[in-house]
Amino acid sequence: MLIQSRTDANKLVSVLGGMILALAGWTVLASEALEQRVRQYWEARQINDILTYYRLESATLPGGKLTPDKYRLAVGLPVRDVKIQNIKVEGDKAEVQLEGKVEVGALGWVPQPLTDVWVLVNGEWYHRTSGFSETH
């Protein structure tokens, strides 16, 4: 009986270990996909490629209210030298810490820490647009 219990316990540990490894693998893949999208978004912002970064905004999804003409008016200050410092994924949301320079009128290019929130919608990461509702 003791031998059977150990065998069952070993099977359980093996199954749980496999599930943990699978989850860890998924988390790494999700993080890599997110990092790629973040880089794409901020590279586009730096060269003012509005079409590219517009399509990465969450409010452009069906049911969202962001149109290209409204987006052009809402885009922030020019940025450059943006670098990812940290990515923290929690389920279908992520917080990305960035460092970059923002052009502030007569002050010129000012170093600025930036924090982005990203959301996972239908298996794709999107920059969380202000006013975006996950249930849109």
23 lies in a domain?
Answer: yes
Place of tokens 């969380």: 128
134 lies in a domain?
Answer: no
The pLDDT confidence band at residue 33, using thresholds 50, 70 and 90, is very high
Separation between Cα atoms, residue 66 and residue 95, nearest integer Å: 22
Contact 94, 32 (CB under 8 A): no
What's the whole-model pTM score? 0.72
The pLDDT confidence band at residue 8, using thresholds 50, 70 and 90, is low
Concatenate the DSSP letters of all residues of 78-116 into one string: -EEEEEEEEEEEETTEEEEEEEEEEEEGGGEEEEEEEEE
7 lies in a domain?
Answer: yes
Residues 50-93 pLDDT 10s: 889 889 999 888 888 877 777 766 667 889 999 999 999 999 99
* Predicted local distance difference test score (pLDDT) of residue 136: 43
Name the residue with higher pLDDT: 65 or 116: 116
Residues 10-28 pLDDT 10s: 665 565 555 554 444 545 5
* Predicted local distance difference test score (pLDDT) of residue 1: 54
**What is the average pLDDT score of the chain?**
81
At a CB cut-off of 8 Å and minimum separation 6, what does 61 contact?
Answer: 121, 126, 136
* Predicted local distance difference test score (pLDDT) of residue 108: 94
Separation between Cα atoms, residue 43 and residue 53, nearest integer Å: 9
Q: What is the CATH number of the domain that holds 19?
A: 3.10.450
Count of domains observed in the chain:
1
Give the domain extent around 55.
Answer: 2-127
Most confident of 23-27, 36-40, 132-136: 36-40
* Predicted local distance difference test score (pLDDT) of residue 129: 84
